[in-house]
Structure 1
Amino acid sequence: MKNKIVSFITIVVCFLLQCTVMDRISIGSITPNLPLILCVSMGLMRGRKAGLWTGFFSGLFIDLFYGSLFGFYALIYMYIGFISGYAFRSFYDDDLKVPLFLVAGTDLLYNLAVYGLQFLLRGRLGFWTYMYRIIIPEIVYTVFLTIIVYRAFYWINYHLMDTVRKESESIWELK
């Protein structure tokens, strides 16, 4: 229960920071994607299920307050959290290279999905313009913010949430 409460508070705080502080530090209308960093971090540190639910609720907040199509961002963030959860047992949480690569890759997938389903279907075909004016700067800015924010999520995971039972993580246990 403690994990769920801390996770929900973290999602709400990240959403509020995304809506307020991130808009203030935007460079050329490009803002870093803090909910994406949270989804990747929780998926990497807690597993597929935690990444999935973190992504769902992060996207749901974005859909409720900013989305034009309800459930669109919830679905995208849910997949991002689930995909990043595959690295749960393979990599160490305190290593910073894996979250950086996961954030860069999932941010690229996120932006391609937004372009394909929000712009391309409306007939806006300027893909390369969208790529070098929005996608690449957002990836760079989000990866830079990951260097700063990932340590805070790491601290929250290991000091405020209950530790995951090591027996259930064992690769030797058949499920």
Structure 2
Amino acid sequence: MKKGIIAAIFIWMLFLLQSTVFQSLSFNGIVPNLLIVLTASYGFMSGEKWGLIVGFFCGLLCDIFFGDVIGFHALIMMYIGYLNGKFSGGFYPEDIILPMVLNVLSDVSYGFLCYIFMFLLRGRLNFPYYFLHVILPEVVYTTLMTIFLYPLILFVNTRLDRPKKRSKQKLV
């Protein structure tokens, strides 16, 4: 229950930051995708279920406020959260490499899928331009924000999981 409330607060705060503050800090119209960072982080920290849930609600917010079709971004983010959850078995809080690599792969996948379904199917075939001018700058900007945002998400997540681990030790 507490973890769900904290996740909802994170989703809302990062959505507001991404859609307001970082719009004014954009480089050539590119803003970091903080919701991808949150979705991927919850996925590999808490497992497939939490990655799927957080991804769905992050994507749904994007769909409601900015999307043409309800469910498009929710579906993509949901899959990204679920797939990141597959790596939860190899997650160690001390390791920063896995979260960074998964965040980069998640952002590239998100940009690529958005290109396919929003542009390629409409006959816009200039993928190299889209990759160099949209996907790659967003990945770099998101990765820089991940360096600052990931420790906060990790701290909150470990604080929430600590009481569970302590209560399991008492039962043994």
- Over aligned residues, Cα RMSD in angstroms? 1.3
Return the alpha-carbon distance in structure 1 between the equivalents of residues 27 and 151 of structure 2: 23
Deviation string, structure 1 residues 15-58 (Cα, Å, up to 9, x no partner): 11111111121111111100000001101111110000000000
What is the DSSP-based 3-state SS (H/G/I as helix, E as strand, rest coil) of the residue aligned with 1:89?
helix
Q: Which runs of 5+ in 2 are unaligned?
A: 166-172
What is the DSSP-based 3-state SS (H/G/I as helix, E as strand, rest coil) of the residue aligned with 2:93?
coil
1:81 CA displacement? 0.5
CA gap of 1:163–1:79, structure 2 versus 1, over 3 A, is farther
Letter in 2 for 1:71: G
Which residue is equivalent to 2:58? 58
1:122 CA displacement? 1.1
Q: Is the 8 A contact 2:45 2:91 kept in 1?
A: no
Identical-residue share of aligned pairs (%): 43
- Structure 1 window deviating more from structure 2 (89-98 vs 45-54): it is 89-98
Which residue is equivalent to 2:81? 81
Which residue is equivalent to 1:71? 71
Runs of 4+ in 1 over 6 A off after TM superposition: none
Letter in 2 for 1:28: N
1:113 CA displacement? 0.4
Which residue is equivalent to 1:19? 19
Which residue is equivalent to 1:102? 102
Letter in 2 for 1:14: L
Return the alpha-carbon distance in structure 1 between the equivalents of residues 163 and 107 of structure 2: 27
Letter in 1 for 2:111: N
Query: What's the TM-score, normalizing by structure 1?
Result: 0.90
Return the alpha-carbon distance in structure 2 between the equivalents of residues 132 and 162 of structure 1: 40
Return the alpha-carbon distance in structure 2 between the equivalents of residues 7 and 144 of structure 1: 22
Which residue is equivalent to 1:135? 135
Return the alpha-carbon distance in structure 1 between the equivalents of residues 86 and 143 of structure 2: 20
Q: Please give the residue correspondences for 1:139-158 in structure 2 after superposition, counting only pairs within 5 Å.
A: 139-158=139-158
Return the alpha-carbon distance in structure 2 between the equivalents of residues 8 and 143 of structure 1: 22
Count of matched residue positions in the alignment of Structure 1 and Structure 2: 165
Return the alpha-carbon distance in structure 1 between the equivalents of residues 163 and 31 of structure 2: 33
Return the alpha-carbon distance in structure 2 between the equivalents of residues 165 and 87 of structure 1: 21
Query: What's the TM-score, normalizing by structure 2?
Result: 0.92
